[in-house]
Amino acid sequence: MAGIWRSVASAALLIISMVIMLDFALKNATLQALATDLNNWAVVVAAFALGIGAYSLILRHGRMITRKGPLWPYSIILLVTMLVFVVTGLVTGSITSPQYNWIYSTIVMPVSSSLYGMNAFFIASASYRAFKAKSWEALVLLVAAIFLMLKNAPIGAVISPILPQIGGEIWDFATATGMRALLIGIGIGTLALGLRVMIGQEKTPLGGAE
Amino acid sequence: MSLREVLNRNYKQVIYIALFLSLAIPLISPIGLPVPVQKTTLGVYNKIESLKSGDVAVIGSNIGAAIYAEVYPQYIAVLEHLLRKPGVKIVLVGHGIEAPIWAERALNELNAPNRKTYGVDFVHLGYIAGEEAAIAGLCRDIHALLKVDHGGRPLSDLPMMNNIRNAKDFTIVIDFTASADSQYWLNQAYASYGTAIGFGLTAIKVPDAYAYYMAGQIFGIIESLSGAAQYENLIHKPGMAVTGMDAQSLAHLLYIALILLGNIFIVTQRRVK
Amino acid sequence: MLMAGKAAWALITFVFSALMLLMLYLSSKKIYIPQIREHPGVHAISEAVGRAAEMGRPVSFSPGTSSLYDAKYAGDTAAALTLLNAVAREAVKSGSKLIVGISQPTVLPVAQAIVKTAYTMEGKAEEYVEGDTVRFYSPDQWGFASSYMGMMYRERVAANFLFGGHAAEALILAETGATVGAMQVSGSTNVYQLPMFLVSCDYTLIGEDQLAAAAYLSPDPAQKGTVFGQDLAKLICVVLIVIGAILVTAGSKILSQLLAS
């Protein structure tokens, strides 16, 4: 049964992929209409996937509470918070209502922005601890980083106009060049993965572990 | 106890306090450093300045609580600039679940409902799930993808949407994000329809987009908080980004000092040995 | 029929796809299995796990915060899971406790199956603890980051592996690992986080090095064929860049016009 399901799923995946790719290259009204419909189905499926994500979260944390798993009181907090948000959104009818905005500003914003803001402190400690010129390559990295920081912050231009100019040259010729190489590699890798999925070589998206 | 001994023992505490002070002091007592405008920010500004009555600007966003400090000031500044352009149609669309919250905040903060007419001058389509599929759907046929806007109003009741069907009708797209949806707009709107694309990004995503800027595939990038400060100065409406620039400058100087200090200690340690 | 400007795209996509499919076929049928060079980071895996065993402290592994369906980082996640297999087997052989932190629900069953298999193959199936060896933390980026950080502090891990698609939490995880004194090996194709890994970790597999290391360690010859096919495609890109640079310098824009969509 699982084998038949995988074969059907693989065949559907291949056909749908070919339709989308051919629509990109060819000018054909029928193909375009079909590709548009398939694309819109993907949007609908993605929307339902959000709901499934919430359901699996409830299931998992519900199990942790009933089995008194590690840190199970936090699972209660998670589910209660989730319930508060869902009920508020449903009762007020919108996630942009004043009530929803209030709980969003009170809970989500401070927590998320604080965790993201911790990056600044970790970069500071990493700058002192790890940014050492132990080799010529590390020295080049270090010098480039200093010039780029002086380019990005207004203080660089205040100290001397030449500093952001040097940073700009490094940015234009070193950073962009390196990025292009990485982007080409990533693009080719994405194509390779797409091909493997399309021909059924990559089983994990269809639920199989290798 | 020497500075080196203090740093060796409690370096994290010392560094964190120093960073906190370098951020807090300029915010309380601003220095007023000038903010030079970069060519990438000017690219976005000039493009919006060139828009004429009837042109359509699609503003995508994936702003969330984590990145709002960097990207929301850019969003506000660009939206303010667009609202000043007579006759330009603005379509707001979200690619993240928190995006509609920030879009509504921005519209209220800029008093958009009283300055322009909803449905005639601007429309908020809300969050569309599906990442690249959502953007592809917008570029192919908005009316096939969506029947209502964020507030549940049918698109057929919004006069400006009668003339906006797909990416061929978009004059420009500006996406504010820290995620991959900037790439998705390039893949779907630029590659297929040649739509002019610009970005408002967090600092960490800028190198990625800069390769496309150098190739001429995007017309501009608003780079992080400094880009937002530059844009606020360009539209002569300094806001939260400009006030943050002094703090950013001092923090950058602190990072450079820490890097140099760490290396100086290494060199002197080697000499002692 | 073919839209103007798409001819070059179609030709390049066809040539690249044909090359990769050919190499995939040749390697999966074992007609030709390309040799992948060993990256120093691969040795570092053994070194880190060995260090953890000597210190009697656990090994932690994170395959990233991206799912197997992510448009950009699915390949990263797949490579991370292949590396998880190698790390798990090393950890079990050396007698170290392994803790795998999972963010995405889609990755969880795959990771569980891989780790369970590793324990079974090494004859220590009874040491695998359901729900403890492979731990699901949170699909939210920051929920996962704070959980994984807490685990590293509580367990005092001696070796930390950060592979797959990590986003902004990369630096926080890497710095926490450095704070607890763990030897860290990382890898990602996420170009925004590579600088963070390079600064904070002992070894970093940059970009495709991670995919190549996964292919090197994987028993599946098709992975090696895929990597080689990608390298052939990159070689064609290099040739096009060189020819394009020469033509543009000589004043001809024919190649850039041909390739423009």
pLDDT at residue B122 tops 90: yes
Domains and CATH numbers, chain B: 3-30+247-272 (no CATH), 39-238 (3.40.50.10160)
pTM value is 0.86
pLDDT of C249: 92
Q: Which two tokens stand for residue C63?
A: 């395959």
pLDDT bin (cut points 50, 70, 90) of residue A210 is very low
Cα-Cα-Cα-Cα dihedral sign, residues A94, A100, A105, A107: negative
Task: Give the whole-angstrom CA distance, residue C100 versus residue C63.
Answer: 8
For residues C100 and C134, the answer to whether their CB atoms sit within 8 Å is yes
pLDDT-based confidence at residue A24 (cuts at 50, 70, 90): confident
A116 in reach of chain B (CB within 8 A):
yes
Contacts of B180 in chain C (CB under 8 A): 71-72
| pLDDT > 90: percent of chain B | 67
- CB contact (8 A) between residue A185 and residue C1: no
CA pair distance B48, B57, nearest whole angstrom: 9
Quick check: A207 pLDDT over 60?
no
Would you state the pLDDT for residue A203? 63
pLDDT in tens, A176-202: 888 888 888 888 888 888 888 788 776
B238-247 tens-digit pLDDT: 988 998 899 9
B118, β-bridge pairs: B122
- Dist CA B192 CA A71 (whole Å): 50
Point out the residue among B65, B144, B256 whose CB comes nearest to the CB of A36.
Answer: B144
Is some CB atom of chain B closer than 8 A to the CB atom of C146? no
Top-confidence range, A43-47, A196-200, B98-102: B98-102
pLDDT of residue B119: 95
C-alpha B191/C-alpha C261 separation (Å) is: 6
The pLDDT tens digits of the residues spanning B45-89 come to 999 999 999 999 999 999 998 899 999 999 999 999 999 999 999
A202: closest CA of chain C, how far (Å):
9
CA A201-A203-A206 angle, 5° bins? 130
Which of the four pLDDT bands, split at 50, 70 and 90, describes residue B19?
very high
Given this model, what pLDDT does residue A132 score?
Answer: 79
- Given pLDDT bands bounded at 50, 70 and 90, which one contains residue B8? low
Closest CA to A163 of B256, B103, C188: B256
* A51 Cβ neighbours under 8 A, 6+ residues apart: none
Q: Which helix (H) or strand (E) holds C165?
A: strand C159-165
- Over the Cα atoms of chain B, what is R_g? 22
Partnered with residue C101 across adjacent β-strands are C135
Tell whether the model's pLDDT for residue A175 goes beyond 90. Answer: no
Q: How far apart are CA C21 and CA C16, in angstroms?
A: 9
Task: Answer whether residue A53 shows pLDDT above 80.
Answer: no
pLDDT tens-digit readout, A111-120: 888 888 888 8
A29 touches C: beta carbon within 8 Å: no
What residue ranges do the domains of chain C occupy?
6-32+222-259, 40-217
pLDDT tier for residue B3 given thresholds of 50, 70 and 90: low
Query: Does 3.40.50 match the CATH number of domain C40-217?
Result: yes
Q: Does the pLDDT value for residue A28 go beyond 90?
A: no
Edge to edge, what strands does the sheet with B196-201 contain? Answer: B122-127, B89-94, B56-61, B172-177, B196-201, B220-223
| B184 pLDDT above the threshold of 70 | yes
Spatial CB neighbours of A150, under 8 Å, sequence gap ≥ 6: A156, A159, A163, A164, A167, B252, B256
Give the residue among A170, A132, A123 at the shortest CA–CA distance from A151. A170
pLDDT of amino acid C252: 87
**Phi, psi dihedral angles at B181 (to 5 degrees):** -65, -20
| pLDDT for the residue numbered B7 | 60
For residue A98, give both structure tokens. Answer: 């004043």
For residue B213, is pLDDT > 70?
yes
φ/ψ of B174, rounded to 5, equals: -125, 125
Contact at 8 Å (CB) between B62 and B95? yes
Identity of residue B132: E
**Closest Cα partner for A25 from C127, B172, C46, C13?**
C13
**Are residues C226 and A196, on separate chains, in Cβ contact within 8 Å?**
yes
A123 interaction partners in chain B (CB closer than 8 Å): 255
Q: Residue B264's pLDDT is what?
A: 86
More confident residue, A209 or B250: B250
CA distance to partner chain A, nearest, from residue C54 (Å): 25
Tokens for A107, please give them. Answer: 């809970």
pLDDT at residue A209 tops 50: no
Average pLDDT over residues A1-6: 75
Q: Are B112 and B83 in contact (CB under 8 A)?
A: yes
Judge contact between A14 and A198, C-beta under 8 A: yes
- Residue C173 confidence (pLDDT): 92
Query: Mind telling me how many Å the CA of B181 is from chain C's nearest CA?
Result: 10
Average pLDDT over residues B148-172: 94
Ranges under pLDDT 70 in chain C = 1-5, 71, 260-261
Asked if residue B222 lies in contact with residue B199, where contact means CB atoms within 8 angstroms, the answer is yes
The rounded distance, in Å, linking the Cα atoms of B65 and B84 is 27
Helix (H) or strand (E) holding A48: helix A29-66
How far is C-alpha A27 from the chain's CA centre?
A: 33
* C67 in Cβ contact with C106 (< 8 Å): yes
- Whether C71 and chain B come into contact, CB under 8 Å, resolves to yes
Q: What is the pLDDT of residues A66-97, one digit of tens each?
A: 988 777 898 899 899 999 999 999 999 888 88
Task: Take residue C200 and report the two structure tokens written for it.
Answer: 């904070």
In this prediction, residues B32-40 reach a mean pLDDT of 90
Q: Which residue is closest to B206 within chain C, CA to CA?
A: C192
Distance from CA of C170 to the nearest CA of A (A): 9
Q: Taking the alpha carbons of B184, C84, A56, A201 in that order, is the dihedral positive or negative? A: positive
Supply φ then ψ for residue C161, to 5 degrees. -115, 125
Nearest to C222 among A69, A116, A201 (CB): A201
- Neighbors of chain B with 3 or more C-beta pairs under 8 Å: A, C
